[in-house]
């Protein structure tokens, strides 16, 4: 969907989906209970372009921050492009550690992405106690890309898997 204001520009949702599909890392920003921010680059898998999954230790600073404050933001971008040519997807989200049936389903999504990139399979046992890692999800509440006028342009990504 393009507005008249950006006629001739690529569909923002298509641009955002291409960025999400072609990158492996997102930078997650969290804050502790006092509001102290923390940024963490994380390898991710996604589901329907609105649910972002990663595996982490529960004692990692960003994991502790999520336990204290679920509101997060993230950015996915290609850092290899020349200056002035970058594009990114900006996300506002709610993050959580997954457990139970949700974890069983989501670890399959994460594992499929891992295996498609030549990495190992992940199972529920790999992200539940006594294993050292847990599975986390950030569910996007808003998504944006950078518009031609250097402003953030909202994009709707759900339903385009």
Q: Give the CB-side neighbour count of residue 152, counting CA atoms within 13 A.
A: 10
Looking at the predicted structure, is the pLDDT value of residue 161 above 70?
no
Domain boundaries, given as residue ranges, for the chain: 4-147
Give the separation between CA 107 and CA 128, rounded to whole angstroms.
11
Please give the average per-residue pLDDT across 104-118, as a whole number: 96
Average pLDDT, the chain: 91
Which tens digits make up the pLDDT trace of 42-62? 999 999 999 999 999 999 999
Helix (H, G, I), strand (E, B) or coil at 144: strand
Q: Which residues pair with 47 in a beta bridge?
A: 51
Higher-confidence position of 90 and 147: 90
pLDDT-derived band at 80, boundaries 50, 70, 90: confident
Q: Is the CATH number of domain 4-147 2.30.110.10?
A: yes
């Amino acid at each position: 969907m393009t507005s008249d204001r950006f006629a001739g520009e690529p569909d923002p949702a298509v641009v955002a989906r291409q960025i999400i599909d072609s990158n492996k890392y997102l930078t997650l920003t969290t804050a502790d209970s006092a509001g102290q921010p923390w940024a963490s680059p994380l390898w991710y898998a996604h589901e329907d372009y609105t649910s972002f999954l990663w595996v982490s230790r529960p004692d990692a600073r960003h994991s502790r921050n999520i336990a204290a404050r679920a509101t997060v933001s993230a950015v996915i971008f290609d850092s290899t492009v020349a200056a002035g040519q970058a594009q990114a997807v900006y996300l506002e989200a709610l993050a959580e550690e997954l457990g139970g049936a949700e974890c069983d389903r989501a670890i399959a999504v994460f594992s499929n992405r891992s295996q498609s990139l030549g990495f190992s399979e992940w199972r529920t046992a790999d992200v539940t106690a006594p294993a050292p890692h847990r599975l986390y999800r950030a569910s996007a509440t808003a998504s944006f890309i950078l518009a031609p006028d250097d402003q953030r342009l909202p994009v709707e990504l759900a339903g385009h898997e």
